Structure 1
Amino acid sequence: MGAAEAQDVRVIAPGIVAPPPVASEALERVGPREPLSDLVAGAGMQSEKPDRLFKPVALAAGRMSVAGREIALASIEIIDAERVCDAGHGGTWPCGRHARTAFRLWLRGRALACHPADEEAGKGNAEMDVARCTVGGEDAAAWLVARGWALAAPGGPYEELEEEARAARRGIFGGGP
């Protein structure tokens, strides 16, 4: 390009870019095309995005309050905060409070990613939703059961984790602080 050709270009409005006017009658909405393969749809994976719940507060080990909603984790038996367990050396200890505190410390106000539980895992009611939740990619119910702070629901996916926690005497199975 020579100097003469560069002078032929004239800038009229450098900050304005606008599409040409189109009459709305000329536009037609069409449906989306079919996926190119099954991989696009995520075959075998959950297609729904989880609900993001911010600043959860642990009410018990496995039950949280988030923005006025109460959520219980699916496939576990929640240890109530007022539960008392037998101590290994005799007497009792407030295992429910210890379980709730451990869960609170683990949550630390991080966001929960929750999917509503299926019908087999448990049913919600007007006051409480039952869900499968993760925190930082880790299954919250599995975390509680593996550390002995919740019990696996009979026939649920966490029974082996409960057996390991019992054998290792973790959490409520440990006989006290």
Structure 2
Amino acid sequence: MALGSLGLVAGALLIAASSRWLPGELPSYPPAQNAAEARPAASLAIHDARPGQPARRIAEDLIAPPPLDVAGVERIEPRPPLGELGLASPPQTPMPQDWRETLLYRPVATSSAIFEAMGRRVVISGTIDVDPDRTCAFGDAVWPCGQRARAAFNAWLRGRALKCVLPPDVDRFGVAAPCMLGKQDVGAWLVGNGWAMASPSGIYGKAEAAARGAEMGIFGPPQ
């Protein structure tokens, strides 16, 4: 009978303890969300929460840039460069593989940009020759600039050897070729001093412009 009494007492204690928590008062975990938090994020309006100011709605269509109508876009020509310093020089025409550097001794100028040496006739490539019969006018003076240009070329050569890039056989005809006198480009010297003009497809355009601006050679007074 003692064991039965103990069981009755334990059951009464359990009933008393459980009666302290009613079903409506049981805490919920996790805490219930309010109505605003329960709605999806996409349905929430975006507001600018500034302290002390009423909230205002942000226009979603102004957050991203508006679409561009390509029909109203007009392509215009690019502006000209501010100067020639950054312009690339025209590429030089590559020489054929069978052309070789050849030393030509005792050259004699027959014109302002043409010479003969060792039975060969060579035109300095990238230049326009000034004919020996040409005359030039500077102010009221007219002078034989073609003869003076040929004389200046001969005086500069002084019978020294020119190194030119030539094909194997040019004995019977003239050929346009680049030449060097030591480390000096012959074409650059002639055009830069005004004794020849630059070919439109050559690389001496800037040198001619400088000679014209400085009134050198055929672009200047009688010499």
TM-score (norm 1): 0.65
Aligned residues of 2:120 and 2:171 also touching (Cα < 8 A) = no
Cα offset, 1:126, TM superposition: 5.0
Counterpart of 2:18 in structure 1 is none
Equivalent AA in structure 1 for residue 156 of structure 2: W
Q: How many residues align?
A: 125
Equivalent AA in structure 1 for residue 178 of structure 2: R
Counterpart of 1:65 in structure 2 is 116
Counterpart of 1:76 in structure 2 is 127
Q: Partners in 2 of 1:154 and 1:141 — Cα distance? A: 14
Cα offset, 1:154, TM superposition: 0.5
Q: Larger C-alpha radius of gyration, 1 or 2?
A: 2
Sequence identity percentage: 40
- Summarize the alignment of residues 44-59 of structure 1 with structure 2, pairs less than 5 Å apart: 50-59=101-110
- Summarize the alignment of residues 139-154 of structure 1 with structure 2, pairs less than 5 Å apart: 139-154=185-200
More helix by share: 2
Counterpart of 1:132 in structure 2 is 178
- Summarize the alignment of residues 1-177 of structure 1 with structure 2, pairs less than 5 Å apart: 50-88=101-139, 90-116=140-166, 126-177=172-223
Aligned residues of 2:121 and 2:171 also touching (Cα < 8 A) = no
Give ranges in structure 1 of 5+ residues lacking alignment: 1-45, 118-123
> Which has the bigger relative contact order, CA under 8 A and spacing at least 6?
1
Secondary structure in 2 matching 1:114: strand
Q: Partners in 1 of 2:202 and 2:187 — Cα distance? A: 11
Give ranges in structure 2 of 5+ residues lacking alignment: 1-96
Cα offset, 1:49, TM superposition: 5.2
Secondary structure in 2 matching 1:60: coil
Structure 1 126/68 Cα, relative in aligned 2: closer, same or farther at 3 Å? closer
Q: Partners in 1 of 2:171 and 2:163 — Cα distance? A: 20
CA RMSD after TM alignment: 2.2
Q: Partners in 2 of 1:125 and 1:56 — Cα distance? A: 14
Q: Partners in 2 of 1:125 and 1:174 — Cα distance? A: 36
TM-score (norm 2): 0.52
User: 4+ residue runs of structure 1 moved beyond 4 angstroms?
Assistant: none
Q: Partners in 1 of 2:214 and 2:142 — Cα distance? A: 20
Equivalent AA in structure 2 for residue 93 of structure 1: W
